[in-house]
Amino acid sequence: MVNEEIPKEVWGTQIRKGLADLAVLTLLARESTYGSDLVSRLAAHPALAMASGTVYPLLNRLKAAGLLSTRWQESPLGPPRKYYSLTPEGNRALEAMRASWKDVVTDLTNILEES
Amino acid sequence: MTGSESLGERAAHTWWAPANPRLFLPRALGIGWDLNFGAVAVKLGLIEPDAENVPFESTPDSAFRLAAVLPVACAAATIAHYGVRGRSLPEELPSNWGLTGNVTRKTSKRVAAWADLGLTVLPAGLACWAASHRDTPGPERAGLVATGTMLATVGAATTVLRSLPNPEKKRWWIGPALLKAAFVPVGATLLGLALAGRAAEIERDLATND
């Protein structure tokens, strides 16, 4: 429940925590990329912006769960970079998350409109 | 950390967790916190948070052998010190210092020598054992080498501090020097092992990309 005792940023953080996996997997499904680029891409969406201290442990966790794979690749600028990609299992997890997210949005929209 | 991890693996995971931004993590053994050297290295821009898939898993044998050189050198220097200068040292040597660097307790030369030799030779042996056991998982080897390095460098530093002339003189820098001896070499060792692991991962991945 949102009330005056829960500032907007705290509420936003709680939502971000729940949706971080979905946001990261969706961005990586579009295109493989490296950690700092992923942080920049998330920063382009202020509601989903996360610090690198949040993103890297999250990537580690998704990798340990078998949803991501990594590979070093040469960079045209500077040293090689570690790129993250979705594994087949990651793609399946993303599909399931998307379906759940659509259900949540539909149901929550209905509740908000009713009120 | 998991319950099935060996002490060496737990030490490595506590001391080197670059993806975790927290500078202090719960200790591998006992209560309290340990410094997360991985987070320090990331903050100093020395390594990426995701430089290795699993820290030290890809670190080559040659890096572990090289890392064991420092504790062995500390042990050799301590043996040489007591072998060469032992007879000329006072019969009593400092064994404890206060916060301001003043000597608060002394012990016999024999006890001091055995303590310093034990604190350098045994850890050096531990580091050598870990460096030479190829079948042992990398994180465990790194944890054991780091533990051996920390103990051996503290032992060698204590040997030097005991042997300073005018032991009654207050030396404010003794505490910081011991802390530096405990943390800087082990941090540098872990960073070196992680950079070697990173280089091995890059070499492997770029080779298969071609």
Ordered DSSP codes for B93-120: EEEEE-TTS-EEEEEEHHHHHHHHHHHH
The answer to whether B70 and B63 have CB atoms below 8 angstroms apart is no
pLDDT for position A5: 65
| pTM listed for this prediction | 0.85
B165 to chain A, closest Cα gap in Å: 48
Tokens of A92: 């399946």
Binned average pLDDT, 10 residues per bin, chain B of 210 residues: 72 92 87 93 94 93 97 98 93 90 92 96 97 94 96 96 87 91 96 96 82
Q: How many CB pairs under 8 A join A and B?
A: 37
What band does A3 get if pLDDT is binned at 50, 70 and 90? low
Taking an 8 Å cut-off on Cβ atoms, the answer to whether B206 and A56 are in contact is: no
From the list A56, A59, A80, which residue is nearest B202 (CB)?
A80
Rounded to an integer, what distance in angstroms lies between the CA atom of residue B191 and that of residue B111?
Answer: 35
Handedness of CA A25, A26, A32, A33 (dihedral sign): negative
Report residue A47's pLDDT band, with 50, 70 and 90 as the boundaries: confident
Flag if B48 and A82 touch (Cβ within 8 Å): yes
Q: By CA distance, what is B39's nearest residue in A?
A: A53
Q: Residue A7 corresponds to which tokens in the numbers above?
A: 């500032």
Residue B49 contacts A, CB cutoff 8 Å = yes
**Which DSSP state fits B12?**
H
pLDDT of A17 reads 76
What's residue B193's pLDDT? 97
Nearest CA in chain B to A56: B19
Report yes or no: B180 at the A interface, CB cutoff 8 Å: no
A43 alpha-carbon distance from chain centroid: 11
Instruction: Tell me what pLDDT residue B141 has.
Output: 96
Which residues in chain A have their CB less than 8 angstroms from residue B51's CB?
A: 82
pLDDT at A6: 66
Q: Show which residues on chain A lie within 8 Å of chain B, measured between beta carbons.
A: 35, 51-53, 56-57, 59-60, 63, 70-74, 80, 82
Cα separation, B182 vs B187, whole angstroms: 9
Give the Cα separation of B102 and B97 in Å (integer).
5
Q: Which residue of A has its CA nearest to B22?
A: A53
Percent of chain A scoring above 70 in pLDDT: 93
- Please tell me which residue, A39 or A78, carries the higher pLDDT value: A39
The C-alpha of A72 sits at a distance from chain B's nearest C-alpha, in angstroms, of 6
Q: Are B74 and B155 in contact (CB under 8 A)?
A: yes
Q: Which B residues 20-39 touch A at CB under 8 Å?
A: 20-21
Structure tokens given for A53: 């201290």
Please report the pLDDT score of residue B191 as a whole number. Answer: 97
pLDDT of residue B151: 96
Confidence of residue A4 (pLDDT cuts 50, 70, 90): low
Coil/strand/helix, residue A111: helix
The answer to whether A106 and A56 are in contact (CB under 8 A) is no
10 Å CB burial of residue B130 (0-12, 13-18, 19+) is: buried
Strand partners, A68: A86
